[in-house]
Amino acid sequence: MELSGFYKLKPEDRLKKIKAIAGLTDVEAAALADTGALKIEVADKNVENVIGAVHLPLGIATHFKINGKDALVPMAVEEPSVIAGACRAAKQALPEGFKAEADEPVMIGQIQVVGVPDANAALKNIELNRKEIMKEAAHFMAQHEKYGCGVRGFDAKSLQTERGEMIIVDFHIAVGDAQGANMVNTTLEGVASTIAQLTGGTIRLRIVSNLAVKRKARASAVWKTGTIGQDTVEGVLDAYEFAKADVYRCATHNKGIMNGISAVAVATGNDWRSVEAGAHAYAALGQYHPLTKFYRNENGDLVGSIELPLALATVGPAVNSSPTARIALKIAGVKGSRELAMMMACVGLASNFAALSALSTVGIQQGHMKLHARNIAAYAGAAPEETEKVAETLAKEKNFSIERAKEIINGMRKK
């Protein structure tokens, strides 16, 4: 396949080539070319070899009250029930709603040094020169100081590996409202030669860690027994113990949490891969465990809490180049990355509560399939004005096949 120079083409010319190679129809090519609010020229600057854009539904989770303030939560996700579940859980947590907090946004950035002749001497030398290293690292963060950013400290450690002993220097860098990867990586690359000199080794990786343990967010809520019922309290507690005791369940428990969190990350233009990596790595510290906790308080009500690292941006190129991300942040009404992290922690907890309360009582398929029936209807060819009716019939008949959806559509059109 001859595609050399593909990257030099304009997006429309790339699309023409792909259309020809992949045998796309005019309609299919037009669907890719329709980039919505994201201008194709902007997308083309974002990433390489752009031919179009993909679209996800954007919904708003309602009923969220966070630290006493009502909030609208933008969520971009393709899975039915995620937004509905978050709304329901948030409503059931009223009138108090959620309490949330977040740490100062400090990221960890790592420098790897290999081939160190004497690791103990190297570690000592790093310690002796702590002030100088800090000063030099601070120099690379100087332009960000006005935003409250800066190097907060560092640790050095030695690692025994199959390729010999290595020295790792972990820098702790406050990154303000940025996600921080670029700021951190630039600083690490800047200070690396000093670390090389002090250790006598060779520098390899200089990269941010996605296990952002210094940048955690926490949230909690009380679901009153009077509101959710005794059986739901017992069910959620049973489900939580299951996740604590079984890693197969725990992975799915945490996936349900990330349904909500990643949906907000995507809506607000954040790097959801780093959010996912950080969450699951954090869950794996010690032994892979649920990111939420549930217990019964002295009144017999259900208390849920969550803690996880959340490295998020409310400023910076990724957020700013996406028009919808900027609008989503405006809807969310968050003042900075810390407030966004608090909101996401609340949504994660709400999503988890919604999943556990449904799974442990009526099951999720009934509600989920009702919503999914709309997708089936649309896939079977229902026009937007027909979708609801087709979905309702599928749900009533408990038959969610495409063939049945097509029959219903044909029947409606004959009338």
Is residue 104 annotated as a catalytic residue, yes or no?
no
Which is the catalytic residue, given 79, 136, 276, 407?
A: 79
Nearer to ligand MEV, 314 or 357 (CB): 357
Q: Identify residue 15 by its one-letter amino acid code.
A: L
Residue 55 appears among annotated catalytic residues: no
CA 74 to chain centre: 13
Whether 367 and 358 have beta carbons less than 8 Å apart is answered as yes
Alpha-helix runs per DSSP H in 223-309: 225-228, 230-245, 247-267, 272-283
Rounded to an integer, what distance in angstroms lies between the CA atom of residue 211 and that of residue 282? Answer: 6
Q: How far is CA 305 from CA 99, 270, 404, in A?
A: 9, 23, 43
Task: Say whether residue 289 binds ligand MEV (CB under 6 A).
Answer: no
Q: What is the C-alpha to C-alpha distance for residues 394 and 404, in angstroms, rounded to an integer?
A: 8
Report, in Å, the least distance between residue 275 CB and ligand MEV.
16
From the number of C-beta atoms within 10 Å of its C-beta (0-12, 13-18, 19+), residue 257 rates as buried
Whose Cβ is closer to ligand MEV: residue 252's or residue 401's? 252
Q: Which stretch binds ligand MEV (CB under 6 A): 182-190, 286-294, 321-329, 356-364?
A: 356-364
- Which residues have a Cβ under 8 Å from the Cβ of 291 and sit 6 or more positions away? 254, 257, 279, 282, 283, 306, 307, 308, 348, 352
Q: Give least dist CB 243 to ligand MEV, A.
A: 8
* Residue 255 designated active-site: yes
Residue 79 found at the interface with ligand MEV (CB under 6 A): yes
Task: Tell me which residue has its CB nearest to ligand MEV.
Answer: 256
Task: Please say if 26 is a catalytic residue.
Answer: no
144 binds ligand MEV (CB under 6 A): no
Beta carbon of residue 393, minimum distance to ligand MEV (angstroms, whole number): 25
Q: Which is nearer to ligand MEV, 87 or 359 (CB)?
A: 359
Q: 412 vs 75, 374, 399, 415, CA distance in Å?
A: 33, 16, 17, 5
Q: Which of 255, 293, 389, 406 is catalytic?
A: 255
Under the binding rule (CB under 6 A), the answer on residue 256 touching ligand MEV is yes
Q: Which of 271, 280, 307, 339 is catalytic?
A: 271
Token pair listed for 321: 């180049």
Half-sphere exposure of 93 (CA within 13 A, CB side): 34
Whether the ω angle into residue 80 lies within 30 degrees of 0, i.e. cis, is: no
Closest distance of CB 79 from ligand MEV, Å:
6
* Residue 252 makes contact with ligand MEV by CB under 6 A: yes
- Say whether residue 253 binds ligand MEV (CB under 6 A): yes
The residues, ordered by sequence, that sit 6+ positions from 343 with a Cβ below 8 Å of its Cβ are 64, 66, 71, 73, 100, 264, 332, 334
Q: How far is the CB of 270 from ligand MEV (least distance, A)?
A: 20
Active-site position among 16, 99, 244, 368? 368
CB 86 within 8 A of CB 351: yes
Rg of the chain in Å (alpha carbons): 25
- Exactly one of 359, 373, 391, 405 binds ligand MEV (CB under 6 A); that residue is 359
- Among the listed residues 364, 369, 371, 412, the single contact to ligand MEV using CB under 6 A: 364
Least separation in angstroms between CB 85 and ligand MEV: 8
- Name which position in 156, 308, 355, 405 contacts ligand MEV (CB under 6 A): 355
255 lies in the site for ligand MEV, by CB under 6 A: yes
Number of residues lying near ligand MEV (CB under 6 A) = 10
Q: Which residue number, 209 or 352, has a Cβ lying nearer to ligand MEV? A: 352
State the minimum distance, in angstroms, from the CB of residue 280 to ligand MEV.
14
Binding flag, residue 88, ligand MEV (CB under 6 A): no
304 Cβ contact list (under 8 Å, min separation 6): 220, 221, 222, 223, 236, 292, 293, 294, 349, 352, 353
Q: Which residues are catalytic?
A: 79, 255, 271, 368
Point out which residues bind ligand MEV (CB under 6 A): 79, 252-253, 255-256, 259, 355-356, 359, 364
